[in-house]
Chain A
């Protein structure tokens, strides 16, 4: 069972990235849970969510110590990196976070310029999906096909099939980004 924390500022889409990952895990038959931070953080400010997935029973759906951290903003990084398991992975938004801000030395760090990459593929709203692709690859737990199938099934369920081609390109851009 893996624990992933998705953290950033409100509006950066971290709750959605977490949800896509949970949907992908569910789609391939894993157990999974998604728990948002809410309350005072509901409007603006920091936002985060915790996703757990795996074949095992998920006892505690809440944060314990994460194996993977997605940091979309510097504040989110500094708050959550202390809560990571040794040997974990930090995937960070290198468009706005510089690598020297990471204090932990016992974790693997992968910077992804997700907004720039999104611009480059002509899908400026695709930064979240690029990050999702990268996270899934970095976890080592999902094939590209599993990721695409789960993500597209999720959007189909919401009746949003018309962006499928675009989303798939964004996902692959993240999954195949070097640095893995």
Chain B
């Protein structure tokens, strides 16, 4: 039987089962239960847990562990993830593999503790200095979060890239039944240090940044081509297609069901990977679609920018892209329905 688990605890246990042998991090609400859980669980299994002196040190320790070829993890939120960007950029530069969990909270600066999706643009654009992306996986339920954990590492190791599990405060704090994955023994990576210099590293002064740039572009293109993950509902004959991820996407599903019962032809593209953005989902959308509607927990509209870009790329350049902004929390089904009706009545204008 599925056990009721708190999102953060389930994610932490899923990480243990995915073979995480190293965690370093710094407490921050609403992600702290992940490190609290692992502070007991990892030592119990003879694995390493370090409460770092700062977010910066936490991600840097993850970099060190990743260089030794073990599955390393850190988790944080909002301003904590900002501080980690130096390390994430350096891990990307070294082409090491690790997973960063962002239990997103709302606000600029210190922000608030409300559940939010306000870090979408930062997470999907790399986040630190330089020219890289992280693979961003965004679950809509506790079950999907635990199911994505092993995949996050597999992708991270396959492409030697950072994977981000982008959750939300509410997903971390909520409880629902889930079935945990089995324990796995991760494969050994070729680049882990063994003290014997088996992995021949090119010194920083011997590197060729131009060639690396070309290789990096190929790698990113390859990921974009092969690793888009998404779910669609009834987009083939929809007049309006909602686009959302995470808990808001799950709520939109409820709104779609009720709107369809009222006779509206609506569908959904739910992002499972926010990067690479699932542009392939647009290829099955009704060619006579009247609008795309981004539903997101931000104040300024972030996902809608990608919706406009990729709908244009898929030949829907003339189709308006609307945005329903919940700022924080999870949009209520009744609000999404009301706002949808305002869109079709012309009371809410398109963003793009």
Contact = CB atoms under 8 A, between A and B. Distances in A.
Interface of A: 19, 22-23, 26-27, 31-36, 38-40, 42, 57-65, 157
B257 A62 contact: no
A59 B112 contact: no
B204 interface: no
B2 A26 contact: yes
16 contacts: A26-B4, A31-B177, A32-B4, A32-B177, A36-B174, A38-B30, A39-B29, A39-B113, A40-B113, A59-B250, A59-B251, A59-B252, A60-B250, A60-B251, A61-B247, A62-B170
Interface in B1-15: 1-4
Contacts of A26: 1-4, 177
B29 A42 contact: yes
B25 interface: no
B113 A38 contact: yes
B138 interface: no
Nearest to A65: B334
B71 to A, nearest CB: 29
A100 B174 CA distance: 34
Contacts of A34: 4, 174-176
A60 B326 CA distance: 14
A35 B4 CA distance: 12
Interface of B: 1-4, 29-30, 112-114, 169-170, 173-177, 247, 250-255, 257, 329-334
A62 B332 contact: yes
Tell me what chain B mostly uses at the interface: helix, strand, loop, or mixed.
Answer: mixed
Contacts of A19: 4, 175
B107 to A, nearest CB: 11
A27 B169 CA distance: 26
B173 A59 contact: no
A65 B331 CA distance: 13
A22 B255 CA distance: 24
A62 B330 CA distance: 7
Contacts of A65: 334
Contact of A61 (B112, B113, B176): B176
Given A32-B4, A39-B29, A42-B29, A62 B176 contact: no
Given A22-B175, A59-B254, A60-B251, 5 more contacts: A31-B176, A33-B175, A38-B169, A59-B250, A62-B330
A64 B170 contact: no
Contacts of A39: 29-30, 112-114
B259 to A, nearest CB: 12
Contacts of B177: 26, 31-32
A62 to B, nearest CB: 4
A57 B2 CA distance: 15
A33 B174 contact: yes
A32 B1 CA distance: 13
A103 to B, nearest CB: 22
Q: Lowest 8 CB-CB distances: which A-B pairs, in order?
A: A59-B254, A39-B113, A60-B251, A62-B330, A34-B175, A35-B174, A33-B176, A64-B332
A19 B6 CA distance: 11
A25 to B, nearest CB: 9
A27 B3 CA distance: 9
Contacts of B114: 39
A177 to B, nearest CB: 27
